[in-house]
Amino acid sequence: MVVAKNEDNKKLYDIIDGQQRTTTIFMLLHVLANKQNEEDKRETRKYLYQKGGLKLEVAPQNQSFFKTLLEAAEKGNISQKKMQTPKGKQNLFEVLKAILDKVSKLSEEEVNERLEALLEMVLMRLEEPDPGRAIRTFQSVNDRGVPLLLLDKLKSFLIYYSNTFCDGKRG
């Protein structure tokens, strides 16, 4: 995942690379949480909501649709018909529909196993302060088909660890 601080709100991050993966995981967490008992659901929703709003924002033109779609899924009111919407919204709908279909076949134990696996995942984040450089990193990885080497991943992890735990202090 490649992120850059949002230029308008420094408390937020823009996802440069990994939007689809992040959105899919977010929708999967949301659907799995809805299959839990109320107490467990409240606990899982801490990963999904903050201050009454979704923690994940998709493209601005799709955000309200995304929120409405998740609310409809929660109430079991998602239409099974193909929708006549722009491609971005159609993709969100299709992915959520596929997730609902798969999750509906899971037992409570299987739901909890999948949630546990998702919540134990480790995210390797490459934070680039310069948005232009973040985009170039994304392009070099994706456009040219140049996969990250193990050394690149290790370097990213060490930078993350240093920034997170060392607080700029040496030794």
Residue type, 130: D
CB of 17 within 8 A of CB of 146? Answer: no
Q: CA torsion sign, 150 to 152 to 156 to 161? A: positive
CA–centroid distance for 132 within its chain: 22
Averaged over 151-155, what is the pLDDT? 67
- Predicted confidence at residue 136, as pLDDT, reads 66
- Predicted confidence at residue 131, as pLDDT, reads 64
Residue where the block lists tokens 């995981």? 25
Question: What is the chain's mean pLDDT, rounded?
Answer: 81
Give the whole-number percent of the chain exceeding pLDDT 70. Answer: 71
Nearest CA to 1 out of 128, 117, 89, 88 is that of 128
Residue 83 DSSP one-character state: P
Could you give the CA distance from residue 68 to residue 90 in angstroms, rounded to a whole number? 13
- Predicted confidence at residue 80, as pLDDT, reads 61
Q: Which of 5-9, 112-116, 121-125, 136-140 has the highest mean pLDDT?
A: 112-116
Residue type, 137: T
* Pick from 27-41, 82-96, 104-118: least confident: 82-96
Distances (CA, A) of 167 to 94, 152, 162: 43, 22, 7
Asked if residue 91 has pLDDT above 60, the reply is yes
Element spanning 3, H or E: strand 2-5
CB of 86 within 8 A of CB of 103? Answer: no
Asked if residue 142 has pLDDT above 70, the reply is no
Give the whole-number percent of the chain exceeding pLDDT 90. Answer: 37
96 or 132, which is more confident: 96
